[in-house]
Each structure stands twice: as structure tokens, then as C-alpha cells.
Amino acid sequence: MFKGSIVAIITPFKNAKLDEDTYISLIHYHLKNGTSGIVPAGTTGESPTLNHEEHIRVIELCVRECKGKIPVIAGTGSNSTKEAISLTRYAEKVGANAALVVTPYYNKPTQEGLYHHYKSINDETDIPIIIYNIPSRSAVDMSVDTMARLFELKNIIGVKDATANLERVNEQKKKIGNDFIQLSGEDGTALEFNLRGGKGCISVTANVAPKLCSEFQEASLAKNNNNLLSRAKEINDQLMPLHKSLFIESNPSPVKYAANLLKLCSDEVRLPLVGVTAETKEKVKSAMQQANLI
């Protein structure tokens, strides 16, 4: 169920408020363009600046609009274990297929603290949980041994790996096995990630290139088909400038500008994020043109 091109969907705003109509149209845009799953209320969805009502609303709307056609993996992480449990319970209640739970940021828990954070969420819910390991933002890196311990629990099923260390794919596969779902959190390394045993990508680029990202994932996961692998490499080369341009400035400001170029939504972000500079706009626009998206 959890594989392929899974979009970390942006949250559109209008005059500083959640733009529900546009958000719904974005969901249907992905349903029509081959996206394999949606993550509402992730970092790309600006979860740090969504208030509680907005956070649960975007999850609810996503589940409602997807209607079981593709899985919804709700972003429910927090650096407060109590809050993460509450959000995960809500996601389960409204029918999300899984929860994406980031390692607690700023607190810098030990490996034992990480284990008990996830164990507490596991023990209080009955929904599949995907660990989100992103040391560059959370300041903690969950070890392979800790993941292996967590995988013994009833709800922990895999990881979104944004360590940018491809060796981790091999290490986690060797230690934990093939049943542990590994999803990339880095569009630029997703090809090699899949070739090493990954099952897909929770993608930023899929916000503006859903068809290409879907085709790329399908081809890259067909490891024994040389023709499809060649196609995956071709798409990877086509999208690489875009992957890079979307992280010149803090995510999701560049991808919201790219979405605005496609008239999908406004490029409005919330402070402390700001809109991208004129120089970045030119680079994003050029990358979109190279990918034949505009």
C-alpha cells in the first residue's frame, strides 16, 4: 500500500487563512495524475505554523476527498509525546491509512527517549506508524538499532529516511529486513534509494510534477526491467534541476512558487517563511521549463 510517488502536499493559504477550496482541488489534481499517496500536514504542508484546528482539518479533508482511492499518511508528529498521541488518534479516528511521525525536534532525546516516544504513540493507537528520520531539521538521528527495536512493536511499519545517507538503506535492510518499508525523503537521491531496496519517495517535487514522479517511481521500482530502468534514469535527469531548485531556499517556499506558475495555488507562505527571491524564481522557472512543465 505504501509505495511509489507519495506527495508531501502543500497547504494553500489565502489572506493568511487555509484555502480549503484550493486544497481540495490540489488533492483531486493528484488523484487524476497518478500520485500513489498523500501526506497532509507534513513539513512541506507547513505543519509548524498550522494551528491545531487547521492541522486536523487538512487531515480530515484529505481523507474525505481521497475516499480510499489512494492512501493518506497523516503528519502527526510533535516534540511533545502527548500532542503526537492526540494527533495520531485523530488521524486514526477520521480514517487515515497511516501516520507519519517525525523524530522530536529541539528536545534532542537520546535513543532511549526516541524509543519510548514512539512506543507511547504505538501503545495508545492502532494505526500504522512511519518514522520520519530527518536529522538536518530535528537535530536527532534515530539509529538503525532503535528502528529495529521499534519494528518489533505492533504499529511501526517503516521509515521516511531523509538522512541523505544512502548507506542507511542497506544498513536498515540488513538489520531489519525487507518487510520494513523504506521511503525516501529526498527526491534527488530517490533513484539510488529504490535500487538499494527502497519502496518509493515522499516527494516535494510531486507537488508540481505528479505524472513524471509517478512514472519515475513505477519505472525505478521495476528493477528487473532494463527498459523501465532506462526510462527511470531519463526522468531522473529531466527532473534533477527541479529537485535542486526546490531547495535553494527553505521548503516549501520554492515549490509554492512553482505551483503558482502552474496556477495550482498562490505562493503565500507563513512567517517565519517568506516568498522566494527574484533570483530563486528565475532558477525555479528555468528548471520547470527544462522539465517541460511550463
pLDDT tens readout for residues 69-128: 999 999 999 999 999 999 999 999 999 999 999 999 999 999 999 999 999 999 999 999
What is the per-residue pLDDT across 48-59, written as a single tens digit (0 to 9) for each? 999 999 999 999
**Cis before residue 135, ω within 30 degrees of 0?**
no
154: Cβ contacts below 8 Å, ≥ 6 apart: 122, 126
Percent of the chain at pLDDT > 70 equals 100
Domain tally, the chain: 1
Residues 232/219, Cβ–Cβ less than 8 Å: yes
265 lies in some domain: no
Inform me whether the pLDDT recorded for 225 exceeds 90: no
Residue 129 lies in a domain: yes
187 part of a folded domain: yes
Q: Which helix (H) or strand (E) element contains residue 263?
A: none
Is the whole-model pTM more than 0.85?
yes
Instruction: Output the pLDDT for position 203.
Output: 98
- Give me the DSSP letters along 90-144: HHHHHT-SEEEEEPPTTT---HHHHHHHHHHHHHH--S-EEEEE-HHHHS----H
Query: Is 98 strand, coil or helix?
Result: strand
User: Is 266 a domain residue?
Assistant: no
Rounded mean pLDDT of 129-151? 97
Supply 169's cell numbers.
Answer: 538503506
- CA atoms of 82 and 11, how far apart (whole Å): 24
Domain at 111, CATH number: 3.20.20.70
Catalytic residue (one of 3, 29, 115, 160) = 160
Strands 17-18 and 13-14: antiparallel
Does residue 19 surpass a pLDDT of 90?
yes
> Mean pLDDT across the stretch 154-163?
98
Instruction: Give domain status of residue 123, yes or no.
Output: yes
User: 208 is written with which cell numbers?
Assistant: 508540481
d(CA 164, CA 15): 35
The mean predicted confidence, pLDDT, of the chain is 97
In a domain, 95, yes or no: yes
Query: Is 132 among the catalytic positions?
Result: yes
CB 99 within 8 A of CB 74: yes
Which amino acid belongs to residue 123? D
The predicted pLDDT at position 201 comes to 98
Burial of 267 (0-12, 13-18, 19+ CB in 10 A): buried
Specify whether 174 is catalytic.
Answer: no
Percent of the chain with pLDDT over 90: 98
Exactly one of 3, 132, 257, 283 is catalytic; which is it?
132
Select from 207, 183, 224, 201 the least CA-distant residue to 258: 207
> What is the spatial distance between Cα 237 and Cα 84, in angstroms, rounded to a whole number?
38
Alpha helices, DSSP H, located in the chain: 20-32, 52-66, 81-94, 111-124, 135-138, 144-151, 167-176, 190-195, 210-220, 226-245, 253-261, 278-290
User: Does residue 180 form part of some domain?
Assistant: yes
Give the model's pLDDT for residue 109: 98
Kindly tell me if the per-residue pLDDT of 250 is higher than 80. Answer: yes
Mapping DSSP to helix (H, G, I), strand (E, B) and coil, where does residue 2 land?
coil
- The domain of 177 spans 4-224
Is the predicted pLDDT of residue 179 greater than 90, yes or no? yes
The pLDDT confidence band at residue 226, using thresholds 50, 70 and 90, is: confident
Task: Establish if 85 belongs to a structural domain.
Answer: yes
